[in-house]
Amino acid sequence: MKTYSATPKDIEHRWFVVDASGMVLGRLATEVAKILRGKHKPMFTPHMDTGDFVIVINASKVKVTGRKAEQKEYFRHTGYMGHELYTPFATMLAKHPERVIEKAVYGMLPKNALGRGKLRNKLRVYSGADHPHVAQQPTPLTFKTAEAK
């Protein structure tokens, strides 16, 4: 028996919409990354783009656990010596809530051309409840949460 490897003609991409309001950032990002890579499909092939499109709405209502809201910082560098910039989580969530989810999902994707392409082309994040992808007829996606304690 041969090992199955998906080919471009076998792959069918679907659209999903995820409501991020009240969800924990890391748990949301892992599930979104899994769908972007296509690991939820039986035909998953690591070197092919078998993933689906994901629309994340209500990004401004995502939450974090513990003291991450006060302690988490986002790092970036301008390219000049000593010019490190640290943006607190609360500021980033207030100004650019889309970037919070994009950076969390980016950390869970492979660091190669395939991973960057999935992030750029297949992930759409919106801070509000409206999105312009109604024509694609996205399927609502819900995840099990561990908050039933």
What is the pLDDT at residue 149?
40
* CATH code of the domain covering residue 55: 3.90.1180.10
Q: What is the pTM of this model?
A: 0.91
Judge whether 124 lies within some domain: yes
Instruction: Report the sign of the C-alpha dihedral through residues 107, 112, 114, 119, in that order.
Output: positive
**Could you tell me if 59 and 20 are in contact, meaning their C-beta atoms sit under 8 angstroms apart?**
yes
What domain range is 132 assigned to? 15-64+97-141
- Residue 148 pLDDT grade (very low, low, confident, very high; cuts 50, 70, 90): very low
Radius of gyration of the chain (CA): 17
Q: How many Cα atoms sit within 13 Å of 93 on the Cβ side?
A: 19
84 is a domain residue: no
In a domain, 34, yes or no: yes
Q: Is residue 1 part of a domain?
A: no
Q: Is residue 134 part of a domain?
A: yes
146 pLDDT more than 90: no
> What pLDDT digit, counting tens, does each position of 17-33 carry?
999 999 999 999 999 99
The two counts, helices (H) then strands (E), for the chain are 5, 6
3-class SS shares of the chain: helix, strand, coil, % to 5: 35, 20, 50
Nearest to 132 by CA among 63, 53, 60: 53
Tens of pLDDT, residue by residue over 6-65, are: 999 999 999 999 999 999 999 999 999 999 999 999 999 999 999 999 999 999 999 999
Tens of pLDDT, residues 81-130:
999 999 999 999 999 999 999 999 999 999 999 999 999 999 999 999 99
The domain tally of the chain equals 1
